Structure 1
């Protein structure tokens, strides 16, 4: 499969290129960086793997739609409007859109959903923590946002109304049903995520720690290969792994 990588000079772009070179069923067709000709890069490409910035997503969608090129989008930090635009593009193109392409993290997503169904948020207090390197620009991370969305779905809560992003001052006792979100940044941490369910007398913690970007890059290449022959639609890494 001939693949295009956007964000060639970025950390993830370099990792994706290495993952393509290590995959017998994939070949690097072209790569692209901001300011270069995206139309030319897409000519003859069978798929794009995108780990860039939300500011570049609109142009990518426009050019991919014109070329009919399937997309694997790993960029995070999109606005609600951009998410809607991605969903709209998926009516024409097959798109895998995921906050994390690690097999381990997607297992964490699955476990979090089932733990939330069993434990709930009436007896158990739920807290989410994430840590990334000092260069990461969006917070909370896309992976943490996905974890919160899963928790919202399973506990009938809202991201906008029921999430406490850190705490400061005299906050008073913890309100029942709220979900805490805590973001840490520092060093060269690739990505740590923990979901905690805490009740009187017991605590359940689900944790994933990534030590290499290659786990995300290899997963993204796997998603691109999975897209071959798929009809238009918006897919997730859960679909790729058969966990949906």
Structure 2
């Protein structure tokens, strides 16, 4: 039985992952950490990671950037692998993540969805065939009206997957209204839509002469990210020190 620590257990994603793990046959949340302890859980919850004295096999983190430094120090001191899902890390913190990965297994991904990460692999293969044949590449992402960043980190990760397959020669265009000019063949257009309660839609369009090929992923709830995080946690147990991402989990 894999024993997990849920870091940020009383946040929205922490509570969702708690429910997901309850249905797992070979995993259990043995401890939680959250500065807010006013929610009843069926496992012990500590208000700081330093106070946790429960033996676990892996840590799943959905907290906030301010808590990541202490978490990394704790995991390194205990030799614990960590699935790092918190976003908005500073450049200094990203360097600390890299340093930690030299001592423990760290899994960090722009998007924890299994489907999105499978899509990244499919896009690489598609780009290698379609871009040389003259297909234009456009990406449209849609999210709820409360999302602060645009384009989304997932949209950029998808664009990076395509660009990586094409040797990094393409530039990203975010707003065509500023320049009246025809489209360049070596560009990836990225458009952001914000409205309602859309959890997350990402569509990559390869537009050629007389044919269009579209790849689309739709998330209908945030549980897809929680499920991916749990799968990542199970994958990371027993792994050697290093930096991993979701492509390792799904075997791409």
Task: Give TM-score scaled by structure 1 length.
Answer: 0.88
Residue 49 of structure 1, aligned match among 60, 66, 86 = 60
CA separation of 1:73/1:137 partners in 2, compared to 1, >3 Å: closer, same or farther? Answer: farther
Query: For the residues of structure 2 that align with 1:67 and 1:124, how far apart are their CA atoms?
Result: 50
13-22 vs 202-211, greater mean Cα deviation: 13-22
Following the alignment from structure 2 to structure 1, what is the Cα–Cα distance between the partners of residues 225 and 9? 15
Structure 1 residues not aligned, in runs of 5+: none
Partner of 2:186: 177
Aligned with 1:242 (options 211, 229, 251): 251
d(CA) in 2 for partners of 1:31 and 1:41? 8
2:249 aligns to what SS in structure 1?
Answer: helix
Partner-residue secondary structure (3-state), 2:127: helix
Q: Is the 8 A contact 2:82 2:106 kept in 1?
A: yes
Tell me the distance in 2 between the aligned counterparts of 1:41 and 1:165: 45
Task: Find the counterpart in structure 2 of residue 143 from structure 1.
Answer: 154
The 10-residue stretch of structure 1 (34-43 or 146-155) with the greater mean CA deviation from structure 2? 34-43
The answer to whether the 8 Å contact 2:201/2:219 transfers is yes
Task: Specify the SS of the correspondent of 2:111.
Answer: coil
Equivalences for residues 74-223 of structure 1 within 5 A: 74-120=85-131, 123-157=134-168, 162-223=171-232
Q: Could you list the runs of 4 or more consecutive aligned residues of structure 1 that deviate by over 6 angstroms after TM superposition? A: none
Task: Report what 2:80 is aligned to.
Answer: 69
SS for the counterpart of 1:117 is helix
- Superposed CA RMSD: 2.3
Q: How far apart are residue 132 of structure 1 and its match?
A: 2.1
Deviation of 1:113 after TM superposition, in Å, equals: 0.8
2:73 match: secondary structure? helix
TM-score normalised by the chain length of structure 2: 0.85
CA contact (8 A) 1:122 1:176 kept: no
Q: Between Structure 1 and Structure 2, how many residues are aligned? A: 241
Contact 1:4 1:41 in 2 (8 A): no
Asked if structure 2 preserves the Cα contact closer than 8 Å seen for 1:193 and 1:207, the reply is: yes
Larger radius of gyration: 2
Question: Contact (CA 8 Å) 1:128, 1:193: kept in 2 or not?
Answer: yes
